[in-house]
Amino acid sequence: MEFLLYLALGACAGVLAGLFGVGGGIIIVPVLVFSFTLQGFDPSILTHLAVGTSLATIIFTSVNAVREHHRRGAVRWPIFVWLTVGILMGAGFGALTAEAISGPNLQKIIGVFALVIAAQLALDVKPKASRTVPGKVGLTVAGSVIGWASAIFGIGGGSLTVPFLTWRSVPMQQAVATSSACGLPIALASALSFMILGWHDPLLPAHSLGFIYLPALLGIALTSMFFARIGARLAHRLSPKLLKRLFAALLFCVGLNFLL
């Protein structure tokens, strides 16, 4: 039964990855926390396990989303390169930060983040395109902050990368596409860090690779890779205004559930 949930979760995460340039982690993490709680996993490690597993699944959602965006010529690869330099540095520090936070407190932090993103989506708050794309140093610094925060929240960084790029006058479709590309190095670096940090934890359930739960990873990956391509196509065809507001309502419920 849990595996069917992981398959459905992967489909939702894939569409979100392609449509909004978010890795789907903002939905994956809460659902995994709920699922792991029902499975009786130890409360002190289940949130870290959910975050690590979420980051590992984003590797698969990113690959197909990026391929579709690249085929349409929407990825700004020079921006991607220098953001990635910072991302690789920040992701490791983010994983260390998350490990130092207790499971219940980490849930509260993720809950607050979900409410902030829900408000941003519901109110359609976007930074005005008031500045140009920064140079190599500026992109590297921005990437390090995005990588650090993404590793803590278990996300692909789209919730941070897209607003940053639009603020720097990158058109929305290119911002989403470039954000999708950045999700891959974020996921790779962060998932590897969580795997190493949790490697010898005695409380981990069977079939875990550090803080990555393999059955959940497999189920989500199987469907997310296909549905990410669909989401990327929709991003180039549809106005996502209604979907964003529905997504915001879901995130609001998620955030409240984690905080109450």
pLDDT at 54 over 60: yes
| DSSP-derived secondary structure letter, 203 | T
pLDDT at 23: 56
Q: Nearest-CA neighbor of 175 among 75, 59, 66? A: 75
223: number of Cβ within 10 Å: 21
pTM of the model as a whole: 0.81
For the chain, helix, strand, coil in percent to 5 are 75, 0, 20
d(CA 68, CA 138): 28
Residue type, 180: S
H helices of 72-213, where? 77-100, 103-122, 136-153, 158-167, 172-197
The amino acid present at 141, given as its one-letter code, is V
pLDDT at 20: 65
Q: What is the mean pLDDT of residues 79-86?
A: 94
pLDDT 10s digits, 190-235: 999 999 999 989 999 999 999 999 999 999 888 877 787 787 777 6
Q: Which pLDDT score is estimated for 162?
A: 82
pLDDT class of 59 with cuts at 50, 70, 90? confident
Average pLDDT over residues 231-252: 72
| pLDDT 10s digits, 110-159 | 888 888 888 887 787 776 767 788 899 999 999 999 999 988 888 767 77
If you average pLDDT over residues 12-28, what whole number do you get?
70
User: What's the start-to-end Cα distance of the chain, in Å?
Assistant: 27
Confidence of residue 22 (pLDDT cuts 50, 70, 90): low
Q: Burial of 86 by CB count in 10 Å (0-12 exposed, 13-18 middle, 19+ buried)?
A: buried
Which residues, 6 or more positions from 253, have their beta carbon under 8 angstroms from its beta carbon? Answer: none
